[in-house]
Structure 1
Amino acid sequence: MSVDVVTFGCRLNAYEAEVIRRQAQAAGLADAVVVNTCAVTAEAVRKSRQAIRKLKREHPDAPIVVAACAAAVAAVRLGLVGRTVTVTLPGGELRIEWRAHDDHVLMTGPVAYEYEGKFDPALFDLSATQ
């Protein structure tokens, strides 16, 4: 019994891939592929969709499980859920809202400290590039 996890997007998704694999195996999901998606950029969504199609061709008899935020956005687009979805993750709850008035996708939830440092202000001087 094996579960493969294919991950796209943010570092949080990469971190959670092993957790997802263990939980899927514990739930009895056998010989399956879990696609851990991301909806932060259109490119990430495109890559996820492309991978899902390829995996289905390569593993026609295996269950393909689509998880994480791009799956939630797809469910909203298909009218399966409302425009706000809460995803329960090992690190806490992630709230995903797809706003109707501007089509922005907002994600809120627990965060990790990412970076501390200083930027050279010259890097942001747009007049220097003209």
Structure 2
Amino acid sequence: MNLACQNSIVNTFKSNAFDGETIEDYDCQLTDQSRINGLVTIAQLRLVNLTTEPINYYKNKEAIKCTEWQSQNMLALGLDLKRHIEKNTNRYEDLKIYINSLNSIEEVQKVIWDTVIPTT
């Protein structure tokens, strides 16, 4: 399940942060996560006038060249990234709890990332 969680996180995530309307796919490899988090810091510093450094990042997964972002839009992208990671880690934690509640090896072996966890 750990590997399934990692794969789900590093795949892509969706956001409309660039223009507030169009939902785009964004890469989510570790370098992408790190870069977005760094740009979120720059956005915060710009909002309190501690830097004028530009915020350059890809408009979407398909872009081959970076575009300048507004601070508020980069903060929104960072929040969407955080929510994407959190959704997947919460799913992983729920699956671990579910797996630990099972009574046989056969039951555990049937559990996959998309398994619907029964409610009690």
What's the TM-score, normalizing by structure 2? 0.28
Considering Cα pairs closer than 8 Å and 6+ residues apart, tell me whether 1 or 2 has the greater RCO.
Answer: 2
The structure that is strand-richer by fraction is 1
Larger relative helix fraction: 2
Q: Give the TM-score of the pair, scaled to structure 1.
A: 0.26
